[in-house]
Amino acid sequence: MDIVNLPTIPLPQFTGNIHVPAAREGVADDAKVSDAALLESRVLHYAEDDKVPRSDLAKAARYKAAIVAQSLVVTGGAMAAAPAWFQQYNANFEQFRTELNQKVDQHHQEFVQLRQDFTQLRQEFVQHRQEFVQHRQEFVQHRQEFVQHRQEFLQHRTEFQQFRTRATNDMAKISKRQALTHRQVALANNRKAGVEGFEEVPFPNGTYPSETLVNDAVLTPLTSVDVVTHLGRGQSRKYFACYFPGVAIPGELDDCYEPILRAIGCRVFEDRTPPVED
């Protein structure tokens, strides 16, 4: 081969940002071999850190191989004539490059998988965040509805209490009117009864003796003069106090009987003067 006509091997055009040695004209010599080896080592370092693509590493390796092959032609040697240390270095480098490519492929696959996992996690996070925002909005809405329902409930409860109070007052008034009407009827009937067969006469406030307790027992029904004159001190004082509110209770028990009989309409005492209020 005519060494003079050997072409100049151009420097590779890398994709990544790699510092390349200055271009040397002419055939491959020791300087070009050294530059090619350093360039491949630099690109190998970048590729190991994932700073450049694998295609740049392949370009650097092919460039060095082309320079080395051309230098062997220039020196008139062959691969077999290369020094033993160079052959061993070249074999070790090829093994290293193979292992490196395998590791790069493995790390690249792991990186791709991690990136996919991260993308999936990010999508799930965004979805959970959207669901959280939605649940929070629903919670705020339910809370507002609860506050509104509670206000309506309080309003209805107030209205119900007012209605119940009015109804209670109305029922009390009706009951009192009924009791007072019954009082007049009972008094009229008792005036005709003589000394027995008396009806229950409500108190002036509309309550009935049968609804009044003395020592945890209701008052004795006043059905005759004899029943009245046999009342105990406690019941006679209670009858007197209820039929004549505001009037001083007599100290003697016998002084209570006549006013009580007059209060229930007994004719024997209807013409006598009732007790005077203090």
What does the block give as tokens for 71? 């230098």
Note whether residue 161 is domain-resident. Answer: no
Indicate the number of domains in the chain: 1
Neighbours of 9 (CB within 10 A): 17
What was the pLDDT predicted at 240? 92
Cα distances (Å, whole numbers) of residue 80 to 137, 147, 158, 275:
80, 94, 111, 153
**Termini Cα distance of the chain:** 155
How far is Cα 190 from Cα 270, in angstroms, rounded to an integer? Answer: 11
Over range 138-167, report the average pLDDT: 92
Name the pLDDT band for 76 (thresholds 50, 70, 90): low
Higher pLDDT, 121 or 8: 121
Note whether residue 226 is domain-resident. Answer: yes
Note whether residue 260 is domain-resident. Answer: yes
What was the pLDDT predicted at 136? 92
pTM reported for the whole predicted model? 0.40
Least confident of 25-39, 81-95, 181-195: 81-95
Least confident of 3-7, 10-14, 115-119, 213-217: 3-7
Note whether residue 127 is domain-resident. Answer: no
The residues near 264 (Cβ < 8 Å, ≥ 6 apart) are 186, 187, 190, 198, 201, 222, 228, 243
Structural domain boundaries enclosing 205: 183-264
The residues near 163 (Cβ < 8 Å, ≥ 6 apart) are none
How far is Cα 74 from Cα 2, in angstroms, rounded to an integer? Answer: 9
Q: CA dihedral defined by 172, 174, 180, 185, rounded to 10 degrees?
A: -140
Note whether residue 2 is domain-resident. Answer: no
Nearest to residue 186, comparing CAs of 212, 208, 217? 208
Note whether residue 217 is domain-resident. Answer: yes
What was the pLDDT predicted at 180? 83
Note whether residue 105 is domain-resident. Answer: no
Note whether residue 187 is domain-resident. Answer: yes
Residue 253 is classified by DSSP as T
Over range 168-196, report the average pLDDT: 84
